[in-house]
A and B are shown apart, each in its own frame.
Chain A
Amino acid sequence: MLNVENLSISFGTDEGLITPVQGVSFSVEAGKTLGLVGESGSGKSITTKALMRLLPGNARLSPETRITYRAKNGKEIQVEKIKPHSRALRSLRGGEIGMIFQEPMASFSPVYSVGNQMVEAIRLHRGCGKREARELAVEMLQKVGISNAAVRIDQYPHEMSGGMRQRAMIALALSAGPALLIADEPTTALDVTIQAQVLDLMRELQRDLGMAMIFITHDLGVIAQIADEVAVMYLGTIVERGATRDVIRDPKHPYTQGLLKAIPSLETLHDRLSPVPGDIPSPTERPSGCPFHTRCPDAINNICNIKTPVELTPAPGRAVRCWLHDEAQSGRSAA
Chain B
Amino acid sequence: MTTGNVLIEVRDLEVHFPIQKKKLFSSEVQTLRAVDGVSFNINRGETVGLVGESGSGKTTVGRAILRAIDPTYGDVFFHTIDDDINVANSDGEELRKFRQHMNMVFSEGPVQLSSLAAERLRLFRSKMSLVFQDPYSSLNPRMTVRDIIAEPLIASGMMKDRDAIDARVREIASRCKLNLEHLRRFPHAFSGGQRQRICIARALVSKPDFVVCDESVSALDVSIQAEIVNLLKDLQEEMGVAFLFIAHDLSVVAQMSHSVAVMYVGKFVEYGPTEKLFFNPKHPYTHALLSAIPQADPDAEFNPIKLTGEIPNPLDAPEGCRFNTRCPFANDRCATKAPEWRQLEPEHYVACHYSETFDFSRR
Please give the distance in Å from B168's CB to the nearest CB on chain A.
Answer: 25
Other A-B pairs beyond A271-B255, A273-B227, 14, CB < 8 Å? A39-B222, A39-B223, A40-B192, A191-B53, A192-B292, A193-B292, A193-B304, A195-B292, A196-B292, A196-B306, A259-B222, A265-B251, A269-B274, A280-B191
- Supposing A192-B289, A220-B296, A273-B226 touch, asked if A264 and B193 sit within 8 A by C-beta, the answer is no
In contact, A264 and B223 (Cβ under 8 angstroms): no
* Chain A 258-273 residues near chain B, CB threshold 8 A: 258-260, 262-266, 269-273
In contact, B223 and A259 (Cβ under 8 angstroms): yes
In contact, A273 and B310 (Cβ under 8 angstroms): no
- B250 at the A/B interface (Cβ < 8 Å)? yes
Please give the distance in Å from A298's CB to the nearest CB on chain B.
Answer: 16
In contact, A269 and B296 (Cβ under 8 angstroms): no
The stretch of A24-32, A91-99, A221-229, A302-310 that contacts the partner chain: A221-229
Please give the distance in Å from A195's CB to the nearest CB on chain B.
Answer: 7
- A162 at the A/B interface (Cβ < 8 Å)? yes
Q: Which residues of B contact A164 (CB under 8 A)?
A: 310
Residue interface bits A120-152, CB-to-B below 8 A is 1, else 0: 000000000000000000000000000000000
- B153 at the A/B interface (Cβ < 8 Å)? no
Q: Which residues of B contact A218 (CB under 8 A)?
A: 221-222
Please give the distance in Å from A223's CB to the nearest CB on chain B.
Answer: 7
In contact, A275 and B230 (Cβ under 8 angstroms): yes
- B69 at the A/B interface (Cβ < 8 Å)? no
* Chain B 178-212 residues near chain A, CB threshold 8 A: 191-194
Complex Cα gap A266–B310 (Å):
25
Closest 3 A-B residue pairs measured CB to CB? A276-B223, A221-B294, A273-B226
In contact, B311 and A225 (Cβ under 8 angstroms): no
Among candidates A224, A262, A272, A279, residue contacting B222 with C-beta atoms closer than 8 Å: A262
Residue interface bits B97-128, CB-to-A below 8 A is 1, else 0: 00000000000000000000000000000000
Please give the distance in Å from B243's CB to the nearest CB on chain A.
Answer: 14
Closest to B248 in A: A191
In contact, B278 and A266 (Cβ under 8 angstroms): yes
- B297 at the A/B interface (Cβ < 8 Å)? yes
In contact, A224 and B289 (Cβ under 8 angstroms): no
Query: Which residues on B are within 8 Å of A, measured CB to CB?
Result: 53-54, 191-194, 221-227, 229-230, 233, 248-252, 254-255, 274-275, 278, 288-300, 302, 304, 306-307, 310-311
Complex Cα gap A220–B293 (Å):
11
* Chain A 200-236 residues near chain B, CB threshold 8 A: 200, 218-225
Query: Which residues on A are within 8 Å of B, measured CB to CB?
Result: 39-40, 161-164, 191-197, 199-200, 218-225, 244-245, 248-249, 258-260, 262-266, 269-277, 279-280, 282
Please give the distance in Å from B277's CB to the nearest CB on chain A.
Answer: 10
- Supposing A221-B295, A275-B224 touch, asked if A266 and B289 sit within 8 A by C-beta, the answer is no
In contact, A266 and B304 (Cβ under 8 angstroms): no
Complex Cα gap A133–B228 (Å):
51
Closest to A189 in B: B54
Please give the distance in Å from B231's CB to the nearest CB on chain A.
Answer: 9
Q: Which residues of A contact B191 (CB under 8 A)?
A: 279-280, 282
In contact, A219 and B294 (Cβ under 8 angstroms): yes
Complex Cα gap A79–B290 (Å):
43
Complex Cα gap A273–B252 (Å):
10
In contact, A264 and B294 (Cβ under 8 angstroms): no
- Supposing A40-B192, A197-B306 touch, asked if A192 and B250 sit within 8 A by C-beta, the answer is yes
Q: Which residues of A contact B300 (CB under 8 A)?
A: 224
